[in-house]
Amino acid sequence: MPILSPIQRRAPGGRLLVAGMYVLLVVGSVWMVYPFLLMLSGSVKSEVDIRHFDIFPEYLYNDLTLFRKFEAQRYGQLDMFTAATRYHDAQARPLYSFEFLPAPAPVAAAALRDWNDFMATIRSWPRHFLQFGHTFGYRTVPEMELEYRHRLWKAFPEVPRQEIISALRIEAWQTRTYQTVQGPYAPVYQELRQTASLRYFIPMSVDGHFILTQLQPIYGSGTNAVTKLNAKWGTQYPSIYDVTMSRTPPAHPAQVKDWWEFVQKSLSVRFVKFAPSLRPAYHDFLKAKYQTIEALNKVYGGSIPGWDEIEFPTAESAIAAFSDLEGFLQTRASPDGVSLDSPDFRWRQFLREKYDNNLEALNQAHQAAHGSFDDATMPLLAHDWNILQQNKKGIIREYITRNYRIVWDYLSGQGNAFRNTILFCVLNVLTALIVNPLAAYALSRFQPRWGYKALFLLMATMAFPGEVTQIPSFLMLREMGMLNTFAALIIPAAANGYSIFLLKGFFDSLPKDLYESATLDGASELRVFTTITIPLSAPILAVIALGAFTAAYGAFMFALLVCQKESMWTLMVYIYQLQQFYGTPIVFASLVLAAVPTLLVFVFCQNIIMRGIVVPVEK
């Protein structure tokens, strides 16, 4: 019987009531779908924009948001970004979060052309002049680290994926503690580095490292810092981030003190050049340390015939050679004969040669106001913006798919996770379709005197949450020696009170004439059960099978409790573990992927599910 009669529906009050019901339904549906859309949107984000609560990721249509994500992935850490780009705000303070990075200031077209011409030569630079970007991220796996991981898996197929350590460090060539990838993984990393596109590389800035590691600890940051520095150095820098180093020791006593302390104690000797006049002193230092040339060759892994043939280390020299050169540098009492070489100095030299040392021509072309060629800094922010604009579609595509690729790589590399989950789901469904129908059939067909008491007892189990019985079940399974087996996962949930109650009610509604006819024809109870009851109960059995599948597929707490051995873990346990290593966006991606099998089951089995819901009601 309808709630409203046709006449009431046509009345204003009835129409208003119907409209209100539709509004409530729409609001309810939005209220249910909106959280899922937020999760779906968050699954293609990163730590930079995960706090933007929008159902359509902003970086898909906002270049500034995309640029912030790009810079976070490119540099990996804020200090590396600041050292390279020298970004600072109006109060001469560094960036404290990529979320608040503004768009780069416009750069003259001539300056960008000069920079592109300069960058065309980087393949001939020493390896340590370029930082390999996109290799480090906080609670994520950047693009190049993900590619490195795949190449390792391909190069070492005999090694289990979970045992391959594929994490990369930022290439901090300017520091003395950094060492590139060593051991059996080194050839894979070097091949990746050599074949990667130039857009993944960042010119190393010795100037920026000097500012962050030498000047800031002494003078601080902000407007007060540059005031103290200018007073001590006799300069007029607008901010501490505009300071540039001299290739050779400066003439000013205060400048040379800071310059020499940085070179002698902090800067990697890869960027330090030594005059030929220092070779005899270097040879004496090595003689005092190794005594014999044979001992030196053993450490260096070389075959140098004599002390006089030893040269200063080059980019490809052994790590021990650079360590000795650092020791030699620390023994020097003055910076005489020492100079620097880095992309910063080569950029300025490039400009000098192009504009024939004509500072006015440089300022006019670059629309700048440099006081000298030494004031020209590398336009890395504008360079990064151009890279983003030229590769925008590919970068967006990579951001949309990366979190899902990370999750898939993680789960597919966890040994038996997929096998365990599939077996658990199949066995749990089969057990539910055998045990529950048999129990319900016995209660419905034979009508025992204690049947309702048994049914009440089964229904009473629904009054207690599953967590209440987990510890007793664990103790029983341990006593029976069944831990870390599929039996431990399946047996405790083999009989379900609600399923038996539902099946008994459905079996009671089936026509009794069918059972009487089968009995007169001589059919056994097993034959009656398999040929009459089960076929007629297909809809309700489908609902029970679906419930058993979702329970097994989503099991986590009990599955981890009774199967603590990692070889028995299911996907849900690994997804929980994934949260300990990765950030919220990747966790969202894992939840979306985990929902796919259940979603497919509901999509393809919705007719059976609806029949299982409607038919019992009609009966």
Residues in the chain: 619
Could you give the percent of the chain with pLDDT greater than 70? 97
Question: Residue 356 falls within a domain, yes or no?
Answer: no
Is 567 found in the same domain as 426? Answer: yes
Is 129 found in the same domain as 11? Answer: no
Most confident of 432-441, 526-535, 593-602: 432-441
Is 218 found in the same domain as 73? Answer: no
Instruction: For residue range 314-372, list pLDDT tens digits in order.
Output: 877 888 888 999 999 999 999 999 999 999 999 999 999 999 999 999 999 999 989 89
Is 421 found in the same domain as 311? Answer: no
Beta pairing partners, 273: 339
553-567: average pLDDT: 88
Q: Which residue intervals of 178-222 are DSSP H helices?
A: 186-195, 206-210, 216-219
Is 259 found in the same domain as 391? Answer: no
Nearest of 345, 162, 332, 172 to residue 244 by alpha carbon: 345
How many whole angstroms separate alpha carbon 335 and alpha carbon 279?
15
Question: Residue 372 falls within a domain, yes or no?
Answer: no
Instruction: For residue range 91-115, list pLDDT tens digits in order.
Output: 888 898 999 999 998 899 999 999 9
User: Cα–Cα distances in Å, from 376 out to 90, 295, 367, 604?
Assistant: 20, 46, 12, 64
**Domain that residue 214 falls in:** 206-268
CB-based contact 554:538 (threshold 8 Å) = no
Is 488 found in the same domain as 544? Answer: yes
Q: What is the mean pLDDT of the chain?
A: 88
Beta pairing partners, 132: 201
265-287: average pLDDT: 93
Question: Residue 55 falls within a domain, yes or no?
Answer: no
Instruction: For residue range 341-353, list pLDDT tens digits in order.
Output: 999 999 999 999 9
pLDDT reported for residue 525: 85
Statement: residue 7 has pLDDT above 90: no
How many whole angstroms separate alpha carbon 267 and alpha carbon 173?
9
How many whole angstroms separate alpha carbon 278 and alpha carbon 275?
6
Is 77 found in the same domain as 30? Answer: no
Helix (H) or strand (E) holding 272: strand 272-274
Question: Residue 153 falls within a domain, yes or no?
Answer: yes
Q: What's the CATH number where 547 sits?
A: 1.10.3720.10
User: Cα–Cα distances in Å, from 172 out to 44, 77, 269, 585?
Assistant: 29, 11, 13, 27
pLDDT reported for residue 619: 47
Domain count, the chain: 5
Instruction: For residue range 170-199, list pLDDT tens digits in order.
Output: 899 999 888 888 889 999 999 999 999 999
Question: Residue 488 falls within a domain, yes or no?
Answer: yes
Is 72 found in the same domain as 16? Answer: no
Q: What tokens appear for 192 in the block? A: 């990746």
Question: Residue 524 falls within a domain, yes or no?
Answer: yes
pLDDT reported for residue 556: 87
Which of the listed residues 410, 443, 469 is the one where a domain comes to its end? Answer: 410
Could you give the percent of the chain with pLDDT greater than 90? 51
395-405: average pLDDT: 95
Is 399 found in the same domain as 291? Answer: no
Question: Residue 509 falls within a domain, yes or no?
Answer: yes
User: Cα–Cα distances in Å, from 487 out to 419, 490, 494?
Assistant: 15, 5, 10
Report the chain's C-alpha Rg in angstroms.
36
Which of the listed residues 268, 287, 321 is the one where a domain comes to its end? Answer: 268
Residue 531 DSSP class: I
In the block, tokens 């341990």 appear at 478
Is 391 found in the same domain as 304? Answer: no
Burial class (CB in 10 A: 0-12, 13-18, 19+), 17: middle
pLDDT reported for residue 501: 86
- C-alpha 476, offset from chain centre: 41
Is 262 found in the same domain as 297? Answer: no
SS3 of residue 42 by DSSP? helix
Strand ranges, E, within 322-404: 338-340
CB-based contact 427:486 (threshold 8 Å) = yes
Is 420 found in the same domain as 551? Answer: yes
Which of the listed residues 232, 252, 268 is the one where a domain comes to its end? Answer: 268
Question: Residue 370 falls within a domain, yes or no?
Answer: no
Confidence of residue 608 (pLDDT cuts 50, 70, 90): low
User: Cα–Cα distances in Å, from 179 out to 75, 130, 302?
Assistant: 18, 14, 20
